[in-house]
A and B are shown apart, each in its own frame.
Chain A
Amino acid sequence: MAVAALRKYEFEPADAPAKFHGAQLLYVGWEDHLMFCAPFAFPLPPTMPFGTVVEQVLPGAFGYHPDFARIDWAKAEWFKSGRRWMPDFGKSLADNGLGHKDVIRFRTPGLTGIAGSCS
């Protein structure tokens, strides 16, 4: 459908990729850990290797949780737009097929938050 309007109604999206100074947005959620109330939004260069995101970006965001130190990344399950997905840690975000405003989640089997409450 389309907006009902008196005349032509076309505007540029407020979040067009060109507005982020070379970065693209990546959303990342940690399943079963709702102590973090929502997935996070990160502005990252598309050339950043996926392994760098995991090693350098995620600890600052999720490190407060006592489960974070216990994560075995080899066992982590990844999802992109809700579907199972395998990132290549050595390749860049772009080469992993991650574009502007893509959403990924990871599940860490065996870790279910504070007192198993998914917090």
Chain B
Amino acid sequence: MDMQVAKKKLGLKERYQVMTRGLDWTPSYQKMEDIYPYAAYEGIKIHDWDKWEDPFRLTMDAYWKYQAEKERKLYAIIDAYAQNNGHLNVTDARYLNAVKLFLTGISPLEYMAHRGFAHVGRQFPGAGPRVACLMQSLDEIRHAQTQIHSLSNYNKYYNGFHDFRHMLERVWYLSVPRSFFDDAVTAGPFEFMVAIGFSFEYVLTNLLFVPFVSGAAYNGDMGTMTFGFSAQSDEARHMTLGLEVIKFILEQDPDNLPIVQRWIDKWTWRGYRVLTLVGMMMDYMLPKRIMSWKEAWEVYFEENGGALFKDLARYGIRPPKWLDQISFDKDHISHQAWATFYQYGAAAAFNTWTPSDEEMDWLSQKYPDSFDKYYRPRLEYWREQAAQGNRFYNKTLPMLCQTCQIPMLFTEPGDPTKICYREVDYQGSKYHFCSDGCKEIFEHEPEKYVQAWLPVHQIYQGNCFPEGADPTAEGFDALAEVLKYYHVEMGRDNLDFEGSEDQKNFDQWRGQATKNA
């Protein structure tokens, strides 16, 4: 006689169903809008959450198993790198300044992305995206941890790695990446997904991870290369999630299109501004260069991003705004950014320098239309002055853009000799912007950006000195006190690379490995 035998194991699909959708339930004594208060106020209309298709059928147990394998490999390489004094195999100690900027400016963003996805994962009424956001939230906190752990090795030997978490909320240039994420995590859940899930993860992180991590490999930094490749394999999953979310929102209701389009415009522009830092790292901070910022932009944004926007055209999405200016800027922003850090090198948590002749020739070759004409004369002048003991340290604080918080260093579309000034009067006060993009973002939500924590204004308000400092005391040295508040040690963490402790130590340690003396 036939016996009904209970199935011992669930199939993959059933198992996935049980471990994700099976966790969802319909509330009986609470209203849906009380449980999910953030689901509707942005104006996005979702009619059927069950239409959500998961791009990756990943459950917690599978995630654990898969990531544990990756982590074992990652930590084996990091340990080997540390035990074999891998830090002496980098091309030049100058390179480590790019890593310092990564640790202070990028790794904390991974943590903020973790928080953002954890928040959003709680707010969506659909179980599918909730689970997908939870998985990404875990990825992001792992990225923060592996990056901090990998880079902690350098903290034993080099300056500037000691207090990245403290610096994030204080140091002037770190307000740029921080304000980007503050803006995203204080937006609604759908805007966060378009901001980070789509614009940042899909359109922009390739520019961060691929050329920069390749640059780490070129410069002998196996630790950074390893966490970069480990993270990059997750990025593919994040990119797919970002794209699925956009498609899902657009397919649900035609009224969603203009809202999503505005978010794409806003977050592509804001992300592009943050990537200025990456452009400068690639063109100026890598002793052995892999490709110019301009080349990276053309491959990863114009070609790859362009193809993506062609795909999205069927939903009515057009390419992001201000592309003409972005296209013009690719010849300029890395030079403009490095010139800014060079002159404010007394207030940065890393060393700066002028490029060598060979490096300037490389820049001329990569930027034939702009480098020799606009930037070489400035750099050569600074180098001559430094050789005469008159190194340029700009001690007057710059005017900042109210939206992106970057000093007003960007130039007019089409004219790299004129600073781009834009301003708005709002409720009896003036607000200033570096571009039409930043101005328009402000105009749409002025109440949000009038609260911006602009480092220069905060210093002038007296909010950036250590406790007990008295700005009215005779001989009060404002810069020295601000550096103390930052936890930047004068003469060790900042100033020129030439003559720095990092330079001397690296040369001495490497010398011991290759010489008898």
Interface residues of A, Cβ cutoff 8 Å to B: 1-6, 9-16, 19-21, 23, 25, 27, 29, 31-32, 34-43, 60-61, 64, 81-82, 99-103, 105, 113-115, 117-119
Q: Are B421 and A4 in contact (CB under 8 A)?
A: no
Q: Is B503's CB within 8 Å of the partner chain A?
A: no
Q: Are B418 and A31 in contact (CB under 8 A)?
A: yes
Q: Is B445's CB within 8 Å of the partner chain A?
A: yes
Identify 6 new A-B residue pairs, CB closer than 8 A, beyond the known A25-B457, A32-B417, A115-B377. A6-B37, A20-B460, A35-B343, A37-B344, A37-B394, A38-B340
Within 8 A of A (CB), among B333-347: 336, 339-340, 343-344
Q: Is B479's CB within 8 Å of the partner chain A?
A: no
Q: Which residues of B contact A29 (CB under 8 A)?
A: 399, 408, 419, 421
Q: Are B457 and A15 in contact (CB under 8 A)?
A: yes
Query: Do A39 and B408 contact each other (CB < 8 Å), given the known contacts A6-B38, A13-B451?
Result: yes
Q: Are A11 and B450 in contact (CB under 8 A)?
A: yes
CA distance A105 to B418 in the complex (A): 11
Q: Which residues of B contact A3 (CB under 8 A)?
A: 445, 447-448
Q: Which residues of B contact A21 (CB under 8 A)?
A: 461-462
Residue pairs across A and B with Cβ atoms less than 8 A apart, 14 shown, are A21-B461, A21-B462, A31-B418, A34-B411, A35-B378, A35-B382, A38-B398, A38-B400, A39-B421, A41-B399, A101-B431, A101-B432, A117-B374, A119-B381
CA distance A36 to B393 in the complex (A): 10
Least CB separation from B417: chain A residue: A118
Q: Are A82 and B421 in contact (CB under 8 A)?
A: yes
Q: Are A14 and B398 in contact (CB under 8 A)?
A: no
CA distance A14 to B343 in the complex (A): 27
Q: Are A13 and B429 in contact (CB under 8 A)?
A: yes
Least CB separation from B418: chain A residue: A31
Q: Are B396 and A60 in contact (CB under 8 A)?
A: yes
CA distance A27 to B411 in the complex (A): 17
Least CB separation from B340: chain A residue: A37
Task: Report the interface size class on chain B.
Answer: 35 or more
Q: Are B417 and A19 in contact (CB under 8 A)?
A: no
Separation in Å of the B40 CB from the closest CB of chain A? 10
Q: Which residues of B contact A82 (CB under 8 A)?
A: 421
**Per a CB cutoff under 8 Å, which of A10, A32, A102 touches B430?**
A102
Q: Are B456 and A41 in contact (CB under 8 A)?
A: yes
Q: Which residues of B contact A118 (CB under 8 A)?
A: 374, 417
**Per a CB cutoff under 8 Å, which of A23, A31, A39 touches B460?**
A23
Q: Are B397 and A40 in contact (CB under 8 A)?
A: yes
Separation in Å of the A57 CB from the closest CB of chain B? 9
Query: Do A27 and B378 contact each other (CB < 8 Å), given the known contacts A3-B445, A39-B419?
Result: no
Q: Which residues of B contact A34 (CB under 8 A)?
A: 336, 339, 374, 378, 411, 417, 419
**Per a CB cutoff under 8 Å, which of B43, B378, B392, B430 touches A117?**
B378
Q: Are A81 and B423 in contact (CB under 8 A)?
A: yes
Q: Which residues of B contact A35 (CB under 8 A)?
A: 339, 343, 378, 381-382, 392
CA distance A29 to B454 in the complex (A): 19
Separation in Å of the B116 CB from the closest CB of chain A? 17
Least CB separation from A21: chain B residue: B462
> Per-residue 0/1 for B315-353: is the Cβ within 8 Å of any A Cβ (1 yes, 0 no)?
000000000000000000000100110011000000000
CA distance A19 to B382 in the complex (A): 37
Q: Is B56's CB within 8 Å of the partner chain A?
A: no
Q: Is B217's CB within 8 Å of the partner chain A?
A: no
Q: Which residues of A contact B397 (CB under 8 A)?
A: 40-41
